[in-house]
Amino acid sequence: MSNPPVVLQREGFSLSGRSVLFGVTLLTAVPSTALAAEPEVVEYAPSSDWHLDYAEARCRIVRTFGEGDDETVLYMEQLQPSSTLGWVAAGGLVKALGSRSKFQVQFGPGLAPFEIDTEARYTLGKFGASLHGSNIGNMGPVREAMGVSEDDPPARPMTLGMHALSVEEGKTIEWIEFTRKGRHYRLRTGEMGSVFAAMNACMTNLVEHWGADPESLKARASGPRLLNIQQVAVEVQKTYPSKAERRGESADLKIRVMVDEKGRVSSCHITEITSAENFSDVACDKFTQLAQFEPARNLDGEAVASYYVTTVRYRMY
């Protein structure tokens, strides 16, 4: 993930011309320093409210926990409609954990713990070293408790739809725990159903901001399909910035393309770039000029406007 500023400058729910269509009251924070709830678990109580950022290219929600040297920031974000989200934590908890490469995470008590093993290294301003992940774990046990079975036949023809976070699953999450070598550190988030609902509302608003119709997206049977991926890849590779190439720099760019009913690119935006310098939006120019798409279609086989998200990786070999 990229390393944007964490401390939000706007307290309200409006940013960069995007209007907010709802009001939401989230959990009230109770400022507290880190304290030991049990001998083996160190807990970090909230020290701020949740701050929801309706940004131009993403939805992000941020909260801080603990105070002083214990202060820890957590932000969770989505770049597109999804049933999961990415997250970053930094500050006192990360320093106490002692390693950023191998640890266990649990969004509990509802979701099962999972392992993270990464060599990536990012920092977040004054909070320093960070932990990060691209999902929140296995939701299978939660769905079983809700009476949902993977073996159940679908009640209607399968749709790609417009993915969203499950508010019911969010209600099973009350804390996020990080574990390494028998040491447990827990962020007391409080029940997160309202957080997931707020993120879903933000994403619906964002999709409308892109120029798409959320209701049409919910009825998609298939998304756009890039027909000439090899041609586009070759041309994008030719645009490797000469300065970056001389320095041996690499970068990952996340690109979102809007594709109309005729399969034409109507807009292209770089939604995220690694912290490498000397990379521009020329990859979007190539997508706009060259990309040929089979448009998204609904259950009736009708073409509908939709979005296409991909990652362009610039690498030196």
State whether 82 and 102 are in the same domain: yes
State whether 201 and 232 are in the same domain: no
Compute the mean pLDDT over every residue in the chain, rounded to the nearest whole number.
Answer: 80
Kindly state the average pLDDT of the residues 296-304.
93
Domain harbouring 259, CATH code:
3.30.1150
Helix (H) or strand (E) holding 240: none
Q: Residue 18 has what DSSP assignment?
A: B
**What's the confidence (pLDDT) of residue 272?**
74
23 within domain boundaries: no
| CA–CA separation, 110 and 38 (whole Å) | 19
Half-sphere exposure of 186 (CA within 13 A, CB side): 22
Token pair recorded at residue 96: 């106490």
11 within domain boundaries: no
17 within domain boundaries: no
| pLDDT of 148 above 90 | no
Residues 189-245 pLDDT 10s: 999 999 999 999 999 999 999 888 999 999 999 999 999 999 998 888 888 877 777
State whether 174 and 239 are in the same domain: no
Instruction: Confirm if 226 and 288 have CB atoms less than 8 A apart.
Output: no
Question: How many other C-beta atoms can be found within 10 angstroms of the C-beta atom of residue 95?
Answer: 14
State whether 83 and 194 are in the same domain: yes
State whether 206 and 224 are in the same domain: no
Token pair recorded at residue 311: 């990652």
| CA–CA separation, 230 and 316 (whole Å) | 18
**Amino acid residing at 137:** G
Q: How many domains does the chain have?
A: 2
Q: Using 50, 70 and 90 to split pLDDT, how confident is the model at 138?
A: low
| CA–CA separation, 52 and 62 (whole Å) | 7
State whether 165 and 294 are in the same domain: no
Bridge-based pairing of strands 86-91 and 130-133 is antiparallel
2 within domain boundaries: no
Helix runs in 185-279, H state only = 193-210, 214-218, 229-237, 242-247
**What's the confidence (pLDDT) of residue 315?**
73
**What's the confidence (pLDDT) of residue 281?**
75
**What's the confidence (pLDDT) of residue 119?**
57
State whether 82 and 203 are in the same domain: yes
Residues facing residue 51 across a β-bridge = 62
State whether 178 and 255 are in the same domain: no
**What's the confidence (pLDDT) of residue 35?**
52
Q: Using 50, 70 and 90 to split pLDDT, how confident is the model at 261?
A: very high
13 within domain boundaries: no
**What's the confidence (pLDDT) of residue 276?**
57
State whether 45 and 146 are in the same domain: yes
| pLDDT of 10 above 80 | no
State whether 271 and 193 are in the same domain: no
Whole-model pTM: value is 0.76
Kindly state the average pLDDT of the residues 2-18.
31
**Full residue range of the structural domain in which residue 133 is found:** 35-210
Task: Indicate if the alpha-carbon torsion angle 174, 176, 180, 183 is positive or negative.
Answer: negative
**Closest C-alpha to 212, from 199, 221, 203, 222:** 203
166 within domain boundaries: yes
